[in-house]
Amino acid sequence: MAQSATTALSAYPKGSATVKFFFYFSLFYLLLSMVMGLIVALKSVNPDFLTGSRFLQEILSYGRLRPTHVNTAVIGWQTTAFLGIMFYGVPVLAKAPLYSEKMGMFTAVYWNLNYIIGAASILSGYQTGVEYAEMPLLFDIGVVICVVLTFWNLFQTLVRRNERMLYVSIWYWMASIMFLGIVYIIGNIPAGWAGSGAAQMGYYYFYMHNIIGLWITVVGVGTLYYLLPKLSDRPIYSHKLSLIGFWTIAAFYVWNGPHHLINGPIPVWLMKAGIIPSLLLLIPVWSVLANVIGTMKGVWYKVSQNAPLKFLLTGALFYGLACIQGPFQSLMGPHAILHFTYWTVGHAHMPLFGGFSLIQFAAIYYILPRIAYRHIYSRPLMNWHYWLSVLGFIIFGFAMWTAGIIQGFEWMDGKQLGASFVEMMQSLHIFLISRAVGGSLMFLGQIIFVWNVYKTVKSGRLIEADDPILRKTS
């Protein structure tokens, strides 16, 4: 009789209960963030949408709904999913069991309870008013506690590792946890402690940019480097290139916050201090893309056969495009046109959804069979998920970028007040409709994704001990 997959994998337990807990809650946040984002898009088309009572008018007002959507996407969906990925990947690369499954489960439970209550406080109107840092201080402390527990658990796992070589993903993942703690503490300093005016904005834009740059980007690139050799069956093209990318991200990304304040009330030297590192970020971006292209050389045909690989490479492409957009719009001329316009909405979604969410989808499709011991329920549903997500984002992104360019040039022509402003906004209505259409396709894709995951766990084909999938686990 064939040995069970559970027994076959017992030599290297990976804290799968912790991983599952993080993954399942991340999917809940994914759908929740998509619902809130779609409501924001629909209310931009029709401001009277869902305003039938005073309660709905308050709860679904832009000032409450939009920050809850952003936090649920970045902290709820993406951060929770990345924590699950690391709790799986670090023990696998260390070839050692997770240091403490009990600590991992405590972290997962505490993290999710803390975030759910914190997000509810934002939606109820109890928030700081600082973008990406709206949760009250009590819940910020909870986030930091979970970050510390995660770092300690994974660090102790590495201390007890049976693999001498630290693969590059370990560098990215462990550094990203440290960066997250540092950035989150600085960015959530209460307003009264951070000074006022330009000094306060310096703190906040350090946080706003680096919660993406030093957390989402670093952990996301580490995940890319983990999955690429496994999904392509090829060794990484250049370990040196991956380390060049690591050190240049660490060196340059931390300085990019001021480029959000260009043409604003800060000294010119500080604006330049934000622009120059933004341009230097092309170095780590091209190191990642060169590594991807080098690794895939000769095996590009696998993209059509492997849905997770398709997600992964498309995510890498969007990451690269986002990091070309970023340096471009950090220049003083383009920034003067594009800032405060719809362009920023499209740009912000490029790395977060188009880039790293697609990488996370690939990771969940890869990891889930190895912790649930079941094959993915439906490959056609994976392809539907891919095409709806990518097509929806392309419609969404181009609508916002085009609307932003029109806005910027119209404002430069003086259409900022009165009837000319109203006329300009009416001309953008078609782009807002396009955003809602694109968002609807993206949402439909995520419904298919979650359904496929649910059916995989409940009724996917069982993995036997001699299944080839198990030979690719470590």
- Where is pLDDT greater, at 447 or 329? 447
What is the structure's pLDDT at 424? 87
CA separation for the pair 217, 320 (Å, rounded): 11
Q: What is the mean pLDDT of the chain?
A: 89
CA separation for the pair 111, 89 (Å, rounded): 19
Tens-digit pLDDT profile for residues 205-249: 888 889 999 999 999 999 999 999 999 999 999 988 998 999 999
Q: How far apart are the first and last CA of the chain?
A: 24
**φ, ψ for residue 269 (rounded to 5)?**
-60, -30
Q: How confident is the model at residue 273 (pLDDT cuts 50, 70, 90)?
A: confident
Over residues 181-199, the mean pLDDT reads: 77
- Where is pLDDT greater, at 254 or 345? 345
**% of the chain with per-residue pLDDT over 90:** 65
What is the structure's pLDDT at 464? 78
What is the structure's pLDDT at 272? 81
Over residues 288-310, the mean pLDDT reads: 94
Residue 122 has pLDDT above 50, yes or no: yes
Give the contacts of 49 (CB within 8 A, at least 6 positions apart): 39, 42, 43
**Bridge partner list, 374:** 462
Over residues 53-75, the mean pLDDT reads: 91
Q: How confident is the model at residue 164 (pLDDT cuts 50, 70, 90)?
A: confident
What is the structure's pLDDT at 111? 97
Q: How confident is the model at residue 254 (pLDDT cuts 50, 70, 90)?
A: confident
CA separation for the pair 352, 260 (Å, rounded): 18
- Where is pLDDT greater, at 422 or 376? 376
Over residues 341-358, the mean pLDDT reads: 94
Tens-digit pLDDT profile for residues 84-94: 999 999 999 99
Tens-digit pLDDT profile for residues 18-53: 999 999 999 999 999 999 999 999 999 998 888 888
Show me where the domains of the chain are located: 13-165
